[in-house]
Structure 1
Amino acid sequence: MLKFAKDVDAVELGLSAISQAPGQSQTWLVIVALVIITGSLLYHYLRRFHYPCLTISDLDKAEARLKETFNNANSTSSLCGRELEESTHAKLCLEEQASEIRSKALQGSPSLWKSHLGIVVELVPSIIEWYTHVVELQRDIMAYLTQIIVERVKRSRINAERKMHEATYTTVDAQPAATGREVAGPQETAALRHRNRRPDAPMFGAAVDNTPTVADG
């Protein structure tokens, strides 16, 4: 953004100088200024949205972001098994390719592109291809992490529902047992009455023998 502001300031100074130039030279200066403005805007657009990694500095930043993504995923134990093995292998290959690109950049001859923009023209295709693989690997890791998080949330919800279900049925099963201890049934009531009856008392409804004995006579 700072570079873009500087370019805009330079364009404004150029236009002010053009407005003071006389005649036909002013027309050519306007054309040159428009070409410079268009080229600058197009360059910033392509760099931001289509080719964000063209220089060695961009390559270093992309490699650092890849390492950070991998380390964060590995520190939470989200990568494991085959996924961890494949991601580690891909990361090591990309780091090796980045080292080779940096070595070639150091061996190359200086140029205007390299001096002013930091772009090594002969390495641009290799850097673009390398960056494409980096983005794909980061996307795969993040997609796998998202899937892991979703599955963990699902398991947590299922466990919570299972505990709630078990607690509900435990409460329902305990209620009949408590009721049976508090309220006795008809048969238990009759048995308790029979045990509490006096030995010489006749049972309710039994016949009473009124035959006189010898002592009574």
Structure 2
Amino acid sequence: MFAQTPEEKTVQFDTEFIEQKKFDNKKIEAYKKQDAFIYVVEKHEPTILEKAWNWFKRTIKKVLSYLFDDISPAVGFLKWILNVLPYAIAGLVLFLIIKFFLKVNVRNIIDGKKAQSIVNLSDEESLIKEKDLPTLIKTAITNGNFKLATRYYYLLLLKKLSEKEHISWQQEKTNEDYIKELATNESLHKEFETLTHLYDYVWYGEFLIDKEKFLKAETNFKKVIAKI
């Protein structure tokens, strides 16, 4: 047996010059002032409303988990009900969408009959297009309902403006839209804007209007309607 001769190894030295990098303290301070480099997370104590909302979400999640998870403690007929329930809810939602939003005659669909052309008028559209507004105004004044009389006067004002093509009346438009349409009509714009704000206060803002205030408003309504 002979001893193994050890391999001689030489140590290599790196003679390349290495430049020491230093941090620029001015740039570091500039970065510290930028929001993108602030990583401090402040603890936020949830409010009572947030706690209630979180509890509501957890409850809904539990109910949905109970209904839709594969592992369910319900068996037999109860399990069948829970399986059918989501589809029943979906069908009910679809029914409501069809009935209240698309304005479809559901009975004709079920019976298989051809649905007739149906026009669903809103209260405002029906009053403007079909009703005798001056008569309605007189009736409301006689009954002492000055709030309703103010509404009828404003609708009559819109009707007259539409008939003379000062505005293009459409159901989906707002009163502010009509004010903008009359912006170029110097003789009507300011007075119409004032009457619009009055109407908004009385009808939507629950502004109490008595007989004395109504008579002043009625004078202004008649003045603008006569000008149209």
Q: TM-score range by the shorter chain?
A: under 0.3
Which protein has the bigger helix share? Answer: 1
Q: Which has the larger radius of gyration?
A: 1
TM-score, normalization by structure 2: 0.24
Work out which structure has the larger RCO, using CA pairs closer than 8 Å and 6 or more positions apart in sequence.
Answer: 1
